Amino acid sequence: MGELRLFVGGARSGKSRQAQQTAERLPGPRVYLATGQPFDDEMRDRVARHRADRAGRGWTTCEEPCDLAGALQQIASAAVVLIDCLTLWLTNCLLADQDGFDESRCEALTAAWLQVAAARARPVLVVSNEVGQGIVPESALGRRFRDLQGRCNAQVAAAAESVTWMVCGLPVPVKPLPGAR
């Protein structure tokens, strides 16, 4: 049924821009499923820039910090959906339930929205950060987040029809592998 496409990379690698441009090449209505929460001026500026980038391009915005499965169920099946981003989604879920949000809870919530995405008639494009290539975080919460994000990304990549790794603004196809049949 629905096609899942993952765009992953480091901070400011161009993953959101690439996912948005990919979605804009697809016919039909488009919904931007935003997971970020503008708690401070810097984040409010980021949200405003993202909104400006989509202005006049046929996007509808849906904001949902934690319940991706529920949000996807509410979006019309004829729409292409861009989820931006899994990193903020995971942060929101982890901070909302620091004691109960463990690996099994993360896996279950990810599986739940992946199941809804798979049942959709139109593509779902997903943006996420690669957080495991830097230094080991100093705090236990930081290390837990890094590990959960890595596992979440792997779970989504396994389900995705395509994975694009963004490096210095350049898209590098990871799945399917170049030349694979």
Catalytic residue among 50, 72, 90, 113: 50
Q: Which regions of the chain does DSSP assign to beta strands (E)?
A: 4-9, 30-34, 59-63, 80-84, 124-129, 162-167, 170-175
Other CB atoms within a 10 A radius of the CB of residue 143 amount to 12
Category of 178 on φ-ψ map: left (φ > 0), alpha (ψ -120 to 50) or beta: beta
Annotated catalytic, 22?
no
Instruction: Compute the distance between CA of residue 180 and CA of residue 58 in angstroms, rounded to an integer.
Output: 34
Q: What are phi and psi of 47, to 5 degrees?
A: -60, -45
* Residue 25: partners with Cβ closer than 8 Å, 6 or more residues away: none
Point out the residues that are catalytic. 50
